[in-house]
Structure 1
Amino acid sequence: MQSGSTDVNGPGPSDGTAASAATDRRRARWADHREQRRQDLVAAAVRALLRHGPQVDMDQVAATAGVSKPVLYRYFADKSQLWLAVSEVVAARVVEAVAPAIEQVREERDLVRATIDAYLGVLESEPALYRFLMHQSGHPGVHQVIAGSGRRVAAGLARVIGDRLRALGLDAGPAEPWAYGLVGFVQAVGDWWTSHGQPIRREALTDYLTTLLWSGIEGVRRSADLPRELTRAHERITP
């Protein structure tokens, strides 16, 4: 009979498509579950790092996560891969703190100060995370993460500085090197500050660095010999 021939021939094309779709959904759910589990383990590694310091080991991470080391290795091929994932989290925190500060200010000197203060604020609140990041900086992957976060901050700075220069009728060409120079300078000082136990108050260090860095930018502006009406508005922010 006709119905019998259908049984013999097996499921039609629509049945096969439905089965394939169901398999894809199961795979997607498993992938989502695995990614969530991986994020949970990275979060546990961050907690272990805050608890035990930059020299934290895999045993301490596993204990903090409440799993065995073999479970960790199901999600991370080795210790370096886990540390790389942690570094991405730490670097993202720095960018998330600094980027809004850059966008919110409208005066040039305040822009420099806000960038420095936001960066030092992350270091002050979580020095162990920053020391860990610097301790792992020799690892090629971690080095790329640090460099990438620096580029993101510098790109935001360059855009804002360029807008300020153009508003003054100046060449915006120096904006990018200024931005990269500011980021590199503050990173180096921040490394010194945390490795020496923050011997200077954050507010004081922010003032020192702002004055030093702004003097260079202000000097370029003054050397352009702008008309008096353009410079008058900026004199109030000259240190």
Structure 2
Amino acid sequence: MSSAAVRKDTVAARRAGGVNHRERIVAAAVQAIEEHGSDPGLAVIADLAGLPRPHVYRHFTGKDELDQAVARQAAKMLGAWIRPSLTVRGTPPEVIDGLVARVLQWAAFHPNLYRFRVRLSPGEAVPQLTRALAAYVRTPPSEHVVAGVIGLVDASVLWWFDHRDEIDQDALSASLSAQVWLLLAAALTTLDPHAPLTPSYPEA
């Protein structure tokens, strides 16, 4: 093998190793947030990743880049959890009920990670949810409407984390679903609340 080929293979291996280390660090940061709160120390993350502390920022430009990567991972995890509720047939209120219930379930399982996601990437889900709604209706609501819906849900969930003794999860889900439906119904005036919607892709 030529020296050029060896150098090429070495560079490729280093890049692959760098990607693997980044993934390990992000996974460790997610675990640290779950176990220690939304602002874990670098030492905790490094220990969970099995790396020396100085090595963590060799793979990120700094704390901000790491935080953004973790927030994207949290958004991806939440998106995967709620996806089944966006592939079912039902009336608009039924679809909304299922979606809100799934969001609250995930938030209840991952309160620290939910707080972190809201703080770092509040707009991350807007285009994703807009595309999901487009599977149900020919003309989905504008992104500013979707952003309002997400903001309503996120703010309500954050409030609920600190006031669980005032309203239980099922009651909050029902209340939030009704509010989300009112917002979407105002934007989608031709939507019949009694007519079942079928997504344009198969059920999960």
Q: TM-score range by the shorter chain?
A: 0.7 to 0.9
Cα deviation for residue 198 of structure 1 reads: 7.0
Distance 1:217 1:59, change over 3 A: closer
Q: What is the match of residue 17 of structure 2? A: 33
Aligned partners of 1:181 and 1:82: how far apart in 2?
Answer: 27
Q: What is the match of residue 34 of structure 2? A: 50
Aligned length: 196
Q: 1:78 aligns with which of 56, 62, 75?
A: 62
Are 1:115 and 2:82 matched, yes or no?
no
CA deviation vs aligned residue, 1:141-162 (integer Å, no higher than 9, x gap): x3xx4312232123312x0442
Are 1:205 and 2:158 matched, yes or no?
no
CA deviation vs aligned residue, 1:12-48 (integer Å, no higher than 9, x gap): xxx8xx5534432332222111101111111111111
TM-score, structure 2 as length reference: 0.79
* Matched letter for residue 129 of structure 2: V
* Matched letter for residue 153 of structure 1: L
| The 10-residue stretch of structure 1 (30-39 or 200-209) with the greater mean CA deviation from structure 2 | 200-209
Gaps of 5+ in 1: 1-14, 164-171
Cα deviation for residue 235 of structure 1 reads: 7.6
TM-score, structure 1 as length reference: 0.69
**Is the CA contact (8 Å cut-off) linking 1:54 and 1:132 kept in structure 2?**
yes
Q: 1:151 aligns with which of 103, 121, 127?
A: 127
* Matched letter for residue 162 of structure 1: V
Please list, as runs of the form range in 1=range in 2, the aligned pairs for 1:101-180 lying within 5 A after superposition. Answer: 101-134=85-118, 137=119, 142=120, 145-157=121-133, 159-163=134-138, 172=139, 174=141, 178-180=145-147
Aligned partners of 2:114 and 2:56: how far apart in 1?
Answer: 23
**Is the CA contact (8 Å cut-off) linking 2:26 and 2:69 kept in structure 1?**
yes
Percent same amino acid among aligned pairs?
Answer: 24
Q: What is the match of residue 166 of structure 1? A: none
Structure in which a larger fraction of residues adopt helix: 1
User: Matched residue of 2:58: which SS?
Assistant: helix
Q: What is the match of residue 191 of structure 1? A: 158
Aligned partners of 1:153 and 1:174: how far apart in 2?
Answer: 10
Aligned partners of 1:126 and 1:196: how far apart in 2?
Answer: 16
Which structure: larger Rg? 1
Aligned partners of 2:19 and 2:184: how far apart in 1?
Answer: 45
Distance 1:26 1:235, change over 3 A: closer
CA deviation vs aligned residue, 1:108-157 (integer Å, no higher than 9, x gap): 111111221121121111001112233xx3xxxx3xx4312232123312
Are 1:234 and 2:194 matched, yes or no?
yes
Cα deviation for residue 74 of structure 1 reads: 1.6
**Is the CA contact (8 Å cut-off) linking 2:149 and 2:183 kept in structure 1?**
no
Gaps of 5+ in 2: 197-204
Distance 1:86 1:176, change over 3 A: closer
**Is the CA contact (8 Å cut-off) linking 2:85 and 2:102 kept in structure 1?**
yes
Q: Which runs of at least 4 in structure 1 moved beyond 4 Å after TM superposition? A: 173-178, 215-221
